[in-house]
Amino acid sequence: MMIPDLLEIPTLRAAFAAGLGPVTLIETLYARIATWPDPAVFISLVPRETALAQARAVDPALPLAGIPYVVKDNIDVAGMQTTAACPDFAYTAQADATCVVRLRAAGAILLGKTNLDQFATGLNGTRSPFGAPRCVFHADYISGGSSSGSAVAVAAGLAAFALGTDTAGSGRVPAACNNIIGLKPSIGLIPTTGVVPACKSLDCVALFANSAADALAVLEVAQGFDAADAYSRRPHAQALSSVPKLGVLAAHDQDFAGDGEAAALYAAAVQQAASLGWAVQTIDYAPFRDIAALLYDGAFVAERLAALETFHDSHAASIEPTVRGIIGGAKRFSAADAFRDIYRVQGLRHAAKAELGRVDALLLPTTPTIFTVAQMREQPVAHNSTLGRYTNFVNLLDLAAIALPAGFRTNGLPFGVSLIGQAFSEASLAAHAGTLHLALGAGAGVHGAQPQALCPPVSDEATLVVAGAHMSGMALNYELLALGARLVRASTTAADYRLHALATTPKKPGLARSPGFAGAGIAVEVWGLSAQSLGRFLADLPAPMGIGRVQLADGTVHSGFLCEAHALNGAEDITAHGGWRAYLARS
């Protein structure tokens, strides 16, 4: 059985059910890792036989049974070295980090530890003695950092998901550079016990995946209170509106470092969000920009020194030069400087929160541009600052964020945007990110395949399967948009459905289940809308259309359009076309 290039959790589960063994999957991925042309992705691998033994013994009932993943090498794995990309700092971990413990218990299989900007200091991926992982689309370009190897491993199809860390954007910038999802949860939602600190009060364990739904599924396993982590917090849902109001950059706040194509892709993402029926309005970005600048340019950088001062003072020569300059440079700040910057952030927080209070979430570029490795090495500090222009403020304001693919420049390099919302809004952000990701059509990873995983509904949201004129871009789609519905994903039905062209004027499709029939499935779309809006929609539904339960190819069941049996008499069977859109295109 073929291993899919786009490794998604539901896809892999379906492959396991169809006969693919976790052992075969793990063997295939070790072979992919061995032949991947970038040797800087991994710092160390789990011994192949160890991973295969775990695959043989995995309990298929576990939530992440057999799902392969990797971790950034500032996260402890028992029996393996933790280097933080500094060989002289390395130690053998005696226990798993709490997040790794939870993933093991859920049946996920660890393949290795990935490269990073040393001590998680940087957003570019070039600050490691183990080499600079490259963008999966062009080896001359940066992968983004500091979680560089983790993002590349997912984008290259070497793992289904990865753990990184995020203090200033390290779980989002590399996602944008490699066309994948990067979820930065709220501070303390995933414990950092067993994670080498960068800025302990701001650090988050971040998640990379090919879909927002996969990132959310991993978050549900990894999150939870841990008394050993002083910053750990118990999860609680902060739901956003199912029809979000998004804050976007005004023209005078847009700075893409001269990258005109990035500016155009951001404008297209904003337009696409509006076309989904979401409200968009400009916000004053000034307080966010000023807070972002303080993270590296002010006394907050001293927290990086606090994490490593003993090692820095005794092994300064072992630290990568740019990282050494940042950490050592913090010695110029006094405790009084630190308090002044804390007061400065607190003052700016009121203005930033006022802007956030006007919207459900922000829709911002993840990065203004992307640099070559050579450019980054020529101006390592200035260009790194550019990369964090729209990410650095997030943890200082205790927000959640998710980065998603948003298209490609003409040279084939990806661009990404981020949704940023209140703490603990991860589920809503992921659902909206999944919708926008699908609508923008950038796919995921190096192969650009469209993800299929479905996020849980937002708040009181119900789902509706449509197979005809209510699909996106078709004649009656406006009826759903008027009710605030959102496109969740495109999909296909289970194999035992047929589609007919009804003898009506104009023609309408009729979807019906035909037990025992084994077809290829019918192309459909899943839409999300509030229960109240669904009720209004159904009240106006004309015969012979009805609503029943429609099973999709992935086994999930949703409310959806089905046709009354009498209307199928004399109707043309168009199942072979695979869907209503394809039928119209050929007729």
C-alpha Rg value of the chain to the nearest Å: 24
Q: Which one of 146, 148, 242, 491 is the catalytic residue?
A: 146
Q: Is 81 helix (H, G, I), strand (E, B) or coil?
A: strand
- In 201-351 the beta strands, taken as DSSP E runs, fall at 204-209, 245-249, 279-283
Q: How far is CA 467 from the centre of its chain?
A: 28
Helix H or strand E encompassing 415:
strand 414-422
- Cβ atoms 468, 508 nearer than 8 A: yes
Cα 356 from Cα 352, distance rounded (Å) = 6
* Catalytic residue list contains 72: yes
The helix, strand and coil proportions of the chain, stated in percent and rounded to the nearest 5, come to: 35, 20, 40
Show the 3-state SS of 474-494: CCCHHHHHHCCCEEEEEEEEC
First to last CA, the chain: 36
| Residues 6 or more apart in contact with residue 120 via CB below 8 angstroms | 72, 74, 84, 146, 147, 165, 167, 170, 196, 198, 203
Q: Which two tokens stand for residue 404?
A: 């998603």
**Alpha helix stretches (DSSP H) within 36-146:** 48-57, 98-105
- Reported as half-sphere exposure (CB side, CA atoms, 13 A), residue 567 has a value of 20
- Cβ atoms 346, 318 nearer than 8 A: no
Cα 495 from Cα 481, distance rounded (Å) = 29
190 CB neighbour count, 10 Å cutoff: 30
C-alpha distances in Å from residue 357, one per residue of 61, 240, 316, 352, 376 = 42, 12, 45, 9, 37
C-alpha distances in Å from residue 453, one per residue of 56, 107, 208, 403, 556 = 26, 19, 14, 16, 11
Nearest to 71 by CA among 89, 93, 87, 49: 93
- Cβ atoms 437, 407 nearer than 8 A: no
Q: Which two tokens stand for residue 44?
A: 């160390």
* Catalytic residue list contains 146: yes
- Hey, which residues does 165 pair with through a beta bridge? 205
Q: Which one of 128, 170, 211, 242 is the catalytic residue?
A: 170
- Cβ atoms 128, 136 nearer than 8 A: no
Q: Which two tokens stand for residue 317?
A: 């020569």
Q: Give the active site residues.
A: 72, 146, 170
